[in-house]
Amino acid sequence: MMEQQLSADTQAILLLCGHFGKKSDIKPLTVSEYARLAQWLQIQEMRPGDLLDTSSAVKIKHIADKTITAGRLLALLMRGGALALAIEAWSNKGLWVISRSDSAYPMRLKKQLGQAAPPIFYGVGEQALLQKGGVAVVGSRDVDQQIIDFTKLVAKKAAQQRMQIISGGARGVDTEAVLTALIHGGTAVGVLADSLVRAAVASKYRDALREERLVLISPFDPNTGFNVGNAMARNKYVYTLSDWAVVVNSAYKEGGTWAGAQENLKAEWVPLFVRQDKSMPVGNQELLNQGAIALEQNRLQDLTDLREQLSQLADTKPQQVTESKSADYRHDVETSGCTSVSEQAEIDDDVSEKTIDLFNVVWPTIEQQLVTDKTEQALAECLNIEIKQLRLWLKRGLDMGRIKKLKKPVRYVIVEQDYETQAKEQQSLFG
């Protein structure tokens, strides 16, 4: 198999953060340490790949950090030979590597987590699926038939409506969700906490990987075994790759499912749905008490549009539009026909104290995008805004008769308007 051609940035990040070769006293950088180094590099007007140049040693010697010392950085960067052997071994097993500076890196995860996003992901399968979003389905490893039936129902409905399944790859709910989606012709993302090398050649995944309907990723060494800490850390990546999350069953105040759901409720990454029925565990009820949204099997059974149902049930409380927390290095991704809402809403200092309805500022940009019909997700990605905020603006546009809603799948398109009048309205905001 042909070896992956890595960018200079990715090579440097792997040298700094990757675990490969013989064990050494020099420990690779953690996620938080790399985040601090990334900030230092920005101040120095450098990219990670610049560290591969021998001339960078002069600047490295002046780094002032409690744990990121010049000696440690230089020792990590000297592992080029070991890295070359590791890349060859990974490539022979069909694995690839992406870093935060690669355009293939999952953008929604990067936007949600910012500097807490893993510096690198190892993976196998179709990289494009990482940008697709979908429904996260999570639950415990120990399951009964009722739990399995509910999991399969969600995954089947999602696959039939071309909604991707994202899960953790563990036995139980995770595996049932992924395999059911694949059986019904859908796509899936598995975020593994261990044993990526073994999963990459597993017979249960072979056909889907060959058909480019599955991608398996891990931020951890592809050869690493199970570790509770890694399993807990993995949860946030499942949520931040998704548009919605469904908890099938959860213990109360223990286990990875509970911990991940708590993280999501606190961070509000995606709407959280929880299976509700008479036999649900205490953990499910407690999550509902904390604000999760009930999802009943009886309603799912006869549902014809899962996407629309989840969208309607999701919490649509207002959110402030904020700049991305991420301070990562990335390639500029050119999206044809897309204009950033932050660019459209930029206001001069001399009118900064004037009260402005942000809807009126950004709506012309939204209308420009809806000349051709778009789904909520496509429009949110195009405008680089949170989908919850977009839904509020779309509802307002519907109420005003400016756009109309189409179905199967749900999407929006502009109602023909007098664009000269719209331009005057936009201009009056700053007059």
What is the rounded distance in angstroms from the CA atom of residue 161 to the CA atom of residue 230? 32
Residues 247, 248, 251, 256, Cα dihedral to 10°: -50
pLDDT at 379: 86
pLDDT at 349: 34
What is the rounded distance in angstroms from the CA atom of residue 379 to the CA atom of residue 405? 13
Q: Is 200 exposed, middle or buried (0-12, 13-18, 19+ CB in 10 A)?
A: buried
What is the rounded distance in angstroms from the CA atom of residue 98 to the CA atom of residue 130? 11
pLDDT at 315: 57
Q: What is the pTM of this model?
A: 0.73
* CA 192 distance to own-chain centroid: 14
Strand-pair category, 411-414 with 403-406: antiparallel
What is the rounded distance in angstroms from the CA atom of residue 221 to the CA atom of residue 81? 18
Dig out the tokens for 279 from the structure: 């036999």
pLDDT at 360: 67
pLDDT at 4: 73
Dig out the tokens for 210 from the structure: 């060959």
Q: Among candidates 18, 33, 108, 44, which has minimal Cα distance to 67?
A: 33
State how far the alpha carbon of 93 is from the alpha carbons of 11, 89, 139, 223, in Å.
19, 7, 30, 11
Q: Among candidates 226, 136, 115, which has minimal Cα distance to 181?
A: 136
pLDDT at 350: 34
pLDDT at 359: 72
pLDDT at 378: 84
pLDDT at 21: 75
Q: Is 188 exposed, middle or buried (0-12, 13-18, 19+ CB in 10 A)?
A: buried
Asked if 136 contacts 246 with a C-beta cutoff of 8 angstroms, the reply is: yes
pLDDT, averaged in runs of 10, over the chain (431 residues): 79 95 86 94 95 93 93 95 92 95 96 95 98 97 93 97 95 96 98 96 97 98 91 95 98 94 96 95 96 91 86 62 35 34 36 49 76 85 77 88 88 66 39 36
Ordered structural domains, the chain, with CATH: 8-92 (no CATH), 108-313 (3.40.50.450), 341-428 (1.10.10.10)
Cβ within 8 Å of residue 130, ≥6 positions away: 104, 105, 106, 109, 123, 189, 215, 217, 241
pLDDT at 331: 33
